[in-house]
Structure 1
């Protein structure tokens, strides 16, 4: 039985994702601070920004959890199929 190749993330990809998130977060916060508008407008935009960030994190977790669940289900189904194939004897004659 061959094991499927699991995709792995490199350290560079992980670092790039963190750096990209940090830069985008910092740039939006700086632009909100220096926005020539009243404080309540800045607060409203900041609240909207926080909502987008938290909903994005939630969406990522949901997608990851669904993918992990499908992988577990596929492994269980594959194990059942492997067991059936191992127990099957094509030369067995039913009496």
Structure 2
């Protein structure tokens, strides 16, 4: 009887990835973003300052919002790329281990 090589079973590669973001979490994130942005716009509108100061602060707020959205996309894309790369590497390793026979003698 031939012994099969022992290999570590990685549950992350065999089980489907469970989404951690529920509908409630999604709604909370959108609501939180809307409330914070609205409150900042209202605060800028009622700020006792000259118009150019308000415009400068509004432009700064817009820059922070757009750069935050861009950062979120970059982090998400990098994480997705890492997951795909890990799956491809794991598939290659599984194929090599399946083809490897430690008891085969080259003639």
TM-score by length of 2: 0.82
C-alpha displacement of 1:5: 4.4
Question: Among residues 29, 32, 38, which one is paired with 1:20 in the alignment?
Answer: 32
Number of the residue aligned with 2:56 = 44
Q: Structure 1: which 5+ runs fail to align?
A: none
**Deviation >6 Å, runs of 4+:** none
CA distance in 1, matches of 2:98, 2:24: 42
Find out whether 1:6 has 2:33 as its counterpart: no
The structure with more helix, counted as a fraction of residues: 1
The total of aligned residue pairs comes to: 95
| RMSD of aligned residue pairs (Cα, Å) | 1.4
Q: Structure 2: which 5+ runs fail to align?
A: 1-8
Between the two structures, name the one with larger relative contact order (CA 8 Å, sep ≥ 6).
2
Higher Rg of the two aligned structures: 2
